[in-house]
Structures are given as C-alpha cells and as structure tokens.
C-alpha cells in the first residue's frame, strides 16, 4: 500500500492535502505516511510467519525516533551501525534484545554501549573485530551473541556503490575462511557464535540472488554443525528492493516463498534487516519551483531542494518519480515510471540551487508543465533521504512531517541559521 494518492488533481498523504503541510512548514519538507510503513512492516512479518523470524528495521534508512517508536510498537527490532543509532533506538523505546549491531569499524566505546544495553547480536565483520569483542566481554564481565558475516561472492544487478556480497569488499569474511574462524574462536566462553550473517547489498529486484546465497551458505551451516558448532540462526540482512518504479520488485511473499522452505528444512531461525522495503515508499520530499529557465536546447526546472536534502540521484544515479503536487485530469499519474509519456508534457532537467554541477534530481525527464511557486513531489524518498542530508552550502536542514490519517505532526523542526552555528560558538 502506498498512501500518497491524487484526489481531484491534488496530491494527498493519507487524508492530508500536501499543500496544507507546505503552507504551514514551508519547503523543502519530508512527508511520511505512517499507514504505509506500518503496512510494509506487517507484510514482511506475515510473509515469514511460518518460521521464527525477527524483523530488524534498518535505522540508517530513516532514523527519526518518532518513526522508530511506531515501528517498535508494531513489533519491529532494529539493525544499527553506530552508537548514535543505538541511542536513537533506545530513545524510541526499542526492545534491546531485538537489536543487531553491524559495521566494520565499531569502536570500543560503541561496543561497550551496546553490551551495557544488552543488545541481541553483534554482526562480526572480521577476525580482529571478533578478537576485540571477546577481549572487551572478558574485561568487563559481559556475555553476548554474534553472527559472523560471510561473503557468498554472488554478483547481481545493483549499483557498484551498494554491492557488498562479493569478495574484495570491506564487509565480512570470505565464505571459505568461515570454518577456520569458528574453529579458532567459537569456544571463547563469552561470545556465543550461533549465527551466520550474509548481505548482498541494496537494490535487489529479483528473488533469485537471495535464494542463491541461502543455498550457498547451507553447506557452510552443515559443515559447522558437523564439527560440533551450534548454528541456529541465519541473518539474511536487508537490501530488498523498493518500488521506485511501480511493479518492478517482488513482494514480501515472493521473497519468503523462496527463502522460508530452505530455512525450515535446515531448522534455522531468521533475522531480516529491511530498510528501503519498509520506508522508501512511505516518504516523499516536497519542494517548490523557484525558477524555470532555458539554456540552449535545455529547459531547467530549478527547485528549492538541493542535493544536500536528497543526494541519491547524484550519488547513486538513483531514479525517483517526480510529479507536480497539483495536476489536471490529463496528467493524473497511474504509475511511477522513468518514461511516463503524456501528451503535453515537457522534457526538463529538475535541478537544485547548490553550487555543484551534480545538483540534480532528474535529467531529460518528461513531466507536466510547471511554473514558479508550483509544488513538486519527489516520490519514494523515505529511505536514505533525510538521513543522508547535510548542511552543505550552509543550508538549514528541512523539517520532517508524519501523517497519520487526516492528522499530521512535525516530527523534526526546520533548522534555523542560528542552529547552523550554535556548536561553533
């Protein structure tokens, strides 16, 4: 379910006209639909209900504590990659036993914070990290659980910057080395190494690579068990595709249909770490047209949002469907598509005000004609949108708004110029 729909030519977030939000809080602004992200979470929980599954939402995708609180209340755990994300999860009232801590460079301070919080698992990325975790547990009288991250060396269709499951990556250890790691470290007495973690990266659009890496890991599980190691859990990470274009990714049920039978046969519990597939379509970035200009044969739509607000298009060459917030009947969009051809549309570059040539949201994109002050929505912006924003060009970061039915709440205020310099005084 995607609760951003056009009614009588106007874009609504659930029961709220987005123009109403813009009039109160200004633009640019991130707007989230609570019903959408809770629906996506529920679909994942239901799809994997046949086996013991812990869904750990990836905080890095969108970490506003108000959103995390709603997810925690709906039964979600959390995947974290820093001490700051641990703190966010704590502030949101998360169940610490349903926290998994990933990342290749966990500091001693972060590890101790997580140990003291009593998190569920550490995802171990290297032998030196495991040695350090064992040493810290012994020094401070702590025990914990760990999943060793292994690279199944499976390539699939994704951007080079977000592919992580191959060899020669900073993440995890080669699958061939995993048995030696368990043989050397499993009997350490303080860190229970009862799980395997795998993660292909982000942006998957078919279930095949995920099924392949489960099948590739199963011989490792069998080999470890045959040597007396207890392996009871498989952490399959995240990276499941989000519907940036309508109908281009499998559903949660599709993924589960290929994965659940394999894990059930192996008597393995499951940890999932979805981010995009829960929050991406639950958010839009609303921006306003500042100017429209022609240069040579190009037409530019210049908006008040910049790459500091949403960096994915220039960083990952990512596609976001972009459409005006108010359109006449001719331009009512039925799908989010890259090439949505409509009579009367203009082909434009949609760009921001940042002093960088890479500051764009779309190039050579067909969209309905817009004019100065028109509102434009950048769809599927809930994941890696605000969370990757910055103050580049000394631009205050924009507000976040959460819609619940016909009500909306500002869940993060817009920064002021004073906020920009407060920590420098």
* Residues 2 and 281: beta-carbon distance below 8 Å: yes
Q: Which conformational region is residue 198 in: left (phi greater than 0), alpha (psi within -120 to 50 degrees), or beta?
A: beta
Going from the C-alpha of 347 to that of each of 165, 329, 334, 352, 362, the distances in angstroms are 38, 19, 19, 17, 10
Return the structure tokens found at 193.
């190494």
Cβ proximity of 365 and 348 under 8 Å: yes
* Active-site residue flag, 62: no
Q: Is 233 exposed, middle or buried (0-12, 13-18, 19+ CB in 10 A)?
A: buried
Length of the chain, in residues: 425
User: What pairs with residue 211 in β-bridges?
Assistant: none
Burial class of residue 425, CB neighbours in 10 A (0-12, 13-18, 19+)? exposed
Residue in 137, 314, 355, 398 annotated catalytic:
355
Q: Report residue 267: phi and psi, to 5°.
A: 55, 50
Angle, CA 366 vertex, CA 362 and CA 372 arms, to 5°: 75
The pairing of beta strand 298-303 with beta strand 346-351: parallel
**Residues annotated catalytic, as ranges:** 355
């Amino acid at each position: 379910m995607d609760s951003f729909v056009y009614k009588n030519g106007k874009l609504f977030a659930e029961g709220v006209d987005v123009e109403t939000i813009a009039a109160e809080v200004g633009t640019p602004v991130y707007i989230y639909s609570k019903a959408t992200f809770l629906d996506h979470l529920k679909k994942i929980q239901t799809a994997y209900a046949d086996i013991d599954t812990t869904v750990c939402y990836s905080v890095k995708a969108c970490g506003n504590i108000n959103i995390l609180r709603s997810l925690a209340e709906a039964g979600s755990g959390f995947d974290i990659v820093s001490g700051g994300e641990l703190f966010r999860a704590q502030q949101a009232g998360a169940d610490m036993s349903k926290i998994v801590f990933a990342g290749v460079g966990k500091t001693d301070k972060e590890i101790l914070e997580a140990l003291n919080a009593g998190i569920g698992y550490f995802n171990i990325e290297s032998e030196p990290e495991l040695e350090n975790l064992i040493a810290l547990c012994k020094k401070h009288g702590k025990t914990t659980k760990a999943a060793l991250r292994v690279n199944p060396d499976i390539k699939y269709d994704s951007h080079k910057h977000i592919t992580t499951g191959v060899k020669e990556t900073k993440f995890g250890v080669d699958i061939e080395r995993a048995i030696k790691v368990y043989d050397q470290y499993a009997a350490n007495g303080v860190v229970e190494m009862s799980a395997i973690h795998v993660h292909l990266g982000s942006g998957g659009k078919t279930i095949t690579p995920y099924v392949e890496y489960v099948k590739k890991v199963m011989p490792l599980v069998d080999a470890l068990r045959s040597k007396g190691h207890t392996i009871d859990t498989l952490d399959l990470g995240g990276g499941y595709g989000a519907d940036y274009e309508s109908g281009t990714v499998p559903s949660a049920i599709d993924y589960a249909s290929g994965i659940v039978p394999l894990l059930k046969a192996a008597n393995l519990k499951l940890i999932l770490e979805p981010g995009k597939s829960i929050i991406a379509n639950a958010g839009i970035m609303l921006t306003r047209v500042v100017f429209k200009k022609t240069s040579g044969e190009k037409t530019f739509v210049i908006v008040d949002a910049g790459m500091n607000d949403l960096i994915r298009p220039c960083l990952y060459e990512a596609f976001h469907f972009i459409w005006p917030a108010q359109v006449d009947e001719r331009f009512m969009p039925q799908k989010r598509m890259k090439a949505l051809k409509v009579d009367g549309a203009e082909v434009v570059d949609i760009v921001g005000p940042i002093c960088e040539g890479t500051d764009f949201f779309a190039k050579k994109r067909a969209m309905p004609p817009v004019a100065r002050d028109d509102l434009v929505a950048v769809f599927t912006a809930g994941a890696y949108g605000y969370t990757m924003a910055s103050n580049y060009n000394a631009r205050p970061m924009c507000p976040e708004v959460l819609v619940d039915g016909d009500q909306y709440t500002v869940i993060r205020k817009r920064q002021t110029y004073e906020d920009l310099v407060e920590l420098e005084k």
